[in-house]
Structure 1
Amino acid sequence: MAEEYGVNGIRISIAWSRIFPTGYGKVNAKGVEFYHNLFAECHKRHVEPFVTLHHFDTPEALHSNGDFLNRENINHFVDYAAFCFEEFPEVNYWTTFNEIGPIGDGQYLVGKFPPGIQYDLAKVFQSHHNMMVSHARAVKLYKDKGYKGEIGVVHALPTKYPLDPDNPADVRAAELEDIIHNKFILDATYLGRYSEETMEGVNHILAVNGGSLDLREEDFAVLEAAKDLNDFLGINYYMSDWMQAFDGETEIIHNGKGEKGSSKYQIKGVGRRVAPDYVPRTDWDWIIYPQGLYDQIMRVKKDYPNYKKIYITENGLGYKDEFVDGTVYDDGRIDYVKKHMEVIADAISDGANVKGYFIWSLMDVFSWSNGYEKRYGLFYVDFETQERYPKKSAHWYKKLAETQLVD
């Protein structure tokens, strides 16, 4: 499908437990063989695999032992990465993690991912930090070994705005929300440390909500050593948020069923999300705002000038597709992708080094927090029969790939 419809690059993740069923130790030879065959088929079809080592799927044995809150698992991840780098020389593009931010948020803030803990901001930041140390160690190892390919990380970067830009309290709420979801991990990636502004915000959040962090001198030595070694940054972008000052208790309600208007997000000492009336939203309350992607790209360019290049590694629209006469007439998805591609072109014109775009997704897939109801694909999947059907967007995307023109 990718070859036929003009998709010349595809994101693939290796399941850690397929290689090391318990997270370390004995190798599963059949799992290794599976990925060799998969990568060979990609190259045979002239589709370049961008391979992620960790996409929300820590092996159960390690997950139940604290996941990345347990520093032993940093070592296990680096050992797993080292094995993959050596075993799969046919891979030209590696990413260490997919969405470090949403992993910690989902596990310890929203509670939509196992272990289902809510409102523990200290665990959120500690998870982010330990995963960034894991990333840095893997990148340093890859470069020290002299492998021929490229390596980076994929961050989800939802842009944060103050509801009233003239209200200092709203501006502060947006800054703190940005630290939680973006600035903390971007600083670790490209500064090799956390700026004074970032740590002031983190300390404020923890003073209000409780908890402390274990940030070690040797951690920052690793982050510093890797900060200029990232070959690229992957940006996953779907939405932006507007923040309003808020004086009250934390309450988060995750809209996982597409019941529009059912979500709620407010954090003590930070703020609450209140979208302006003029911005559209999906049934899952995700704000559709292409300008946010432009602003985020340019923010990376401005604040982290040692970035080398950017790939938009996820962007797309999930909604309740209606399957009619063997297809889906998804004009909304086409409009969404078109408008986001237009702002990417604007960012390139304004000096940002954006080198590629990956639509999410090639075909309908399982959503970690929404199941199978929320569909993103260019191809509709009948999950009972496994039949694939091209949507209207697939034909549009094929033309785009052929002409390289957004129309």
Structure 2
Amino acid sequence: MTHAVTHVELPSDFLFGAATSAYQIEGGWDADGKGPSIWDRFTHRPGRIRNGDTGDTAAETYRNFQTDIDMMRALGLDAYRFSIAWSRVMPDGRGRVNDKGLDYYDRLVDALLAKGLIPFPTLFHWDLPQALEDDKGGFVHRDTAEYFADYAAAVVRRLGDRVDHWTTLNEPWVHATMGYLIGVHAPGRRDPWAYLRVVHHQLLGHGLAMARIRALRPTARVGIALNLTPFYQAGDSPHDREAADTGDQLLNRLFLDPLFRGRYPDPLWGKMRLFHPRIRPGDMDLIAQPLDFLGVNYYTRSVLRYHRLVPLLHLWPKELGMIAGVDRGPSGVTYTAMGWEVYPAGLFETLLRLKKEYGNPTIYITENGAAFLDTVEPGGRIRDEERRAFLEQHLAVTGAAARVGVDVRGYFVWSIIDNFEWAYGFDKRFGLVHVDFATQQRIIKDSGHWYARLIRAVHGAENGAYEGRGTQGPDSSSHL
């Protein structure tokens, strides 16, 4: 049975959640024995982050997560996707386990379960222990994949009796590209020789961790979250067609093909032969172990054109702005505060492609959301209509994908609260809930109220928890 809300139609058992990551919200960067991560080091370097912001305090959820959990329950969420800080659990990235760090996540999981929320932890969301970067160069070195599996096992031993869904890595493309090739993310390196090593060793770490988790908890469901985007050619020329195809291989197929086909994509892989990592016998079998689910992080599409000054790849990430090799697209379309085109059809195309080309895996949309400029009115209301419309459009196409047979089972808004947005600091706000970072006051935005009513409508009013609790300002939005 399905329920229609405006033009959103989803199965009644569809899972609704929201997502965050440890460095972006926790604060407590050196509390209770936590070791420094590469983001702690990176953000403390002058000029790296907009406005000189750091995640030292962030949204202070290390000090108090209960306020946000109560708000999630009030909004009727089914699940919460969060990440675990590797250096909070293993300060040196390997060896000694910090019990106080694990205690924090122990309490967090118990608090979620007490409110009826399903925990969806991610084991690595880019905050690599600095000790491993100093000693091994991070995932440039193969040993880091082994250390990651050890860390995953330590976490699962503590939490696996209550946690059923595990995500190994979040967006390994971003960590490799932005951190080691372009250098605008931690650790800030620009080393093309390191790039494919980081790609391969992250995937190897995923495979090793998956094997360890299943050995410890055979009933666990284990997946990985990839940032995926459809690529379009800006013009009709063969060069533009090649640029779009190369972009697709670099961002999408560089991870989908090894995970689902046990090989890296050609012809890209052949063109990059000088940069190949060493692939040992058995590596690809480990990487290609069947996934219990694939996490899809979707934000926008990419429209590419050939440019002779952009060698080989014809591609630049949108985080760097619309520069050579990337077209801004037609006039009259909506762009988020990140400069990304709002293009919900791209999510439908991505989901349908996974059904047709990659065996229709079980999918959770593990991130989808938008940054816009929020204004807090004198009465405390935040009328973020653009964000609400973005969510409605993307949930509508998710429902359409489910109706044509895509095995999509849940959706996590990025993000439940405003947080530290990496190189942008606190300048970009994605949350359903506004955070005043000076006072830590929370205000549910109109988009959050809308999401709550959608959840209630899809699940049935008798199951909905939303009562307008935990808000500052009126719940007067009338979109549903």
Same fold (TM over 0.5): yes
- Partner residue of 1:273? 326
- Partner residue of 1:200? 267
Percent sequence identity is 33
CA separation in 2, counterparts of 1:223 and 1:153?
11
* TM superposition shift of 1:12: 1.2
2:139 and 2:145 in contact (8 A); partners too: yes
Q: For each residue in 1:235-290, what CA deviation from the matched residue of structure 2 results, as whole angstroms up to 9, or x when unmatched?
A: 0111111011121146998887xxxxx82444xxxxx1113214432232212110
| Residue 220 (structure 1) aligned with residue 290 (structure 2) | no
2:207 aligned residue (136, 141, 157): 136
Letter in 2 for 1:201: L
- Partner residue of 2:65? none
CA separation in 2, counterparts of 1:265 and 1:129?
28
1:314 and 1:357 in contact (8 A); partners too: yes
- Partner residue of 2:174? 102
3-state secondary structure, aligned to 1:134: helix
1:316 aligned residue (338, 362, 369): 369
2:354 and 2:361 in contact (8 A); partners too: no
3-state secondary structure, aligned to 1:148: coil
- Partner residue of 1:283? 337
Moved more, 242-251 or 4-13: 242-251
1:263 aligned residue (312, 317, 321): 321
Moved more, 26-35 or 243-252: 243-252
| Residue 153 (structure 1) aligned with residue 224 (structure 2) | yes
| Residue 186 (structure 1) aligned with residue 239 (structure 2) | no
CA separation in 2, counterparts of 1:241 and 1:314?
17
The structure-2 alpha-carbon separation of the partners of 1:122 and 1:172, relative to structure 1 and needing over 3 Å to count, comes to farther
1:85 aligned residue (156, 159, 162): 156
1:129 and 1:185 in contact (8 A); partners too: no
- Partner residue of 1:50? 120
- Partner residue of 1:269? none
State TM-score, norm by structure 1. Answer: 0.89
* TM superposition shift of 1:365: 1.0
Q: For each residue in 1:67-88, what CA deviation from the matched residue of structure 2 results, as whole angstroms up to 9, or x when unmatched?
A: 1011111111010111112111
The structure-2 alpha-carbon separation of the partners of 1:77 and 1:3, relative to structure 1 and needing over 3 Å to count, comes to same
1:403 aligned residue (457, 460, 467): 457
| Residue 300 (structure 1) aligned with residue 354 (structure 2) | yes
Higher relative contact order (CA 8 A, sep 6+): 2
CA separation in 2, counterparts of 1:322 and 1:171?
42
1:193 and 1:223 in contact (8 A); partners too: no
1:232 aligned residue (293, 306, 310): 293
* TM superposition shift of 1:146: 4.2
Letter in 1 for 2:400: D
- Partner residue of 2:384? 330
1:330 and 1:392 in contact (8 A); partners too: yes
- Partner residue of 2:187? 115
* TM superposition shift of 1:106: 0.8
* Superposition misfits of 4+ residues, deviation over 6 angstroms: 251-256
Moved more, 277-286 or 95-104: 277-286
Give the count of matched residue pairs.
385
3-state secondary structure, aligned to 2:202: helix
The structure-2 alpha-carbon separation of the partners of 1:254 and 1:159, relative to structure 1 and needing over 3 Å to count, comes to closer
3-state secondary structure, aligned to 1:337: helix
| Residue 22 (structure 1) aligned with residue 75 (structure 2) | no
3-state secondary structure, aligned to 2:266: helix
- Partner residue of 1:162? 233
- Partner residue of 1:10? 80
The structure-2 alpha-carbon separation of the partners of 1:180 and 1:90, relative to structure 1 and needing over 3 Å to count, comes to same
The structure-2 alpha-carbon separation of the partners of 1:193 and 1:254, relative to structure 1 and needing over 3 Å to count, comes to closer
2:126 and 2:175 in contact (8 A); partners too: yes
CA separation in 2, counterparts of 1:48 and 1:140?
23
2:214 and 2:220 in contact (8 A); partners too: no
The structure-2 alpha-carbon separation of the partners of 1:342 and 1:183, relative to structure 1 and needing over 3 Å to count, comes to same
- Partner residue of 1:259? none
Q: How does 1:372-383 map to 2 (within 5 A)?
A: 372-383=426-437
2:275 aligned residue (207, 211, 215): 211
* TM superposition shift of 1:131: 0.6
CA separation in 1, counterparts of 2:216 and 2:420?
36
